[in-house]
Amino acid sequence: PEKARALSAFIESQPGLVFEAHSTDYQTPKRLAQLARDHFAILKVGPGATFALRETLWALAAVEHEWLGRSGRDANEDGLIGTVLGVMRAEPEHWRPYYQDPARLQVDLAYSLSDRIRYYWAHPKVQAACAALLDRLEHSPPPLTLLSQFLPRQYDAIRDGRLRNRPADLLRDGAAQSLRPYLAACAA
């Protein structure tokens, strides 16, 4: 940005030094590339990466629900999503100061860009629910039509031969989506 021009010019006279940019989540690829050109060589990402992880897990839960129905889990009750939201409600210390509006609470807990869910992924109940989801989809791979509906980027990658229809691969690729703009910005 214009306000940082003098700072960017200064660093050019300092051999071996670069800037570190915090909270770069949700910046456009163009803005990330500009930061890299302005000598911000360390671009820190946080909730953007875990938000992508959550998006992919929620999509896999929707795939599971459509594919396996009650023989799998109900994605909104006793499956992954219900487990995560239940743990969050039972242990609100990581989100209560951030989500104040009762009318938005359900949406904020499940979808907020600040991604307070990231503090719950290591919880034993959540870990077990994640493992169970991935295991069920590993043992009963969903049809590509469901991946097209809920994970279209991964569907395209499978059709192109760049990705396997395995839940762990789908999850890794979905989470990596948030990092691709950073790679492109630093390569520019």
Comparing 35 with 93, the larger pLDDT belongs to: 93
- Judge if 26 and 107 occupy the same domain: no
Binning pLDDT at 50, 70 and 90, where does residue 2 land? confident
Give residue 34's domain range: 2-44
Minimal CA–CA distance to 142: which of 166, 159, 163? 166
Residue 129 lies inside a defined structural domain of this protein: yes
At 76, which CATH number?
1.10.400.20
- Judge if 14 and 87 occupy the same domain: no
pLDDT value for 120:
98
Binning pLDDT at 50, 70 and 90, where does residue 6 land? confident
Q: Does pTM surpass 0.85? A: yes
- Judge if 147 and 86 occupy the same domain: yes
pLDDT value for 42:
92
- Span 104-133, average pLDDT: 97
- Judge if 23 and 65 occupy the same domain: no
Contact predicate 159/139, CB 8 Å: no
Is it the case that residue 51 has pLDDT exceeding 50? yes
Alpha carbons 170 and 25: distance in angstroms, whole number: 22
pLDDT value for 187:
84
Measured between alpha carbons, how far is residue 30 from residues 26, 52, 186 in Å? 11, 19, 11
